[in-house]
Amino acid sequence: MKLSEFIDHLDRILKKWPDTAKWSVSMIASYTSAEADEVQKWCSYALEAPLEHQSTLDLAQGDLCLKRLTEAHEKELKISD
């Protein structure tokens, strides 16, 4: 899966993410149809912290992942133009 696809899927699931729920990296992978290793890598990058497949994220962390990954992807697109 490309990062851009993951960003789109993450944006969709964040709208359904219950305020008090914590989802594991593996659950996020399942909900976004991404590989768990990719989700682990991208979310670790976005949160600037090492994550494992069993690591859990709350809604605020999910939002932060989306924000930082979107920013990083937009910068990458500008560089390649």
How do the domains of the chain map onto residue ranges? 3-80
- Assess whether pLDDT exceeds 70 at residue 10: yes
More confident of the two residues 53 and 78: 53
Q: How many Å apart are CA 24 and CA 29, to the nearest integer?
A: 9
Q: Which residues, at least 6 apart from 59, have a Cβ–Cβ distance to it below 8 Å?
A: 14, 17, 18, 19, 21
Asked if pLDDT for residue 45 goes beyond 70, the answer is: yes
Q: Is the pLDDT of residue 81 over 50?
A: no
Average pLDDT for residues 24-29, to the nearest whole number?
97
pTM given for the model: 0.90
Q: Is the pLDDT of residue 14 over 80?
A: yes
pLDDT tier at 77, thresholds 50, 70, 90? confident
pLDDT score of 72 more than 60 = yes
Q: Which two tokens stand for residue 50?
A: 């090492």
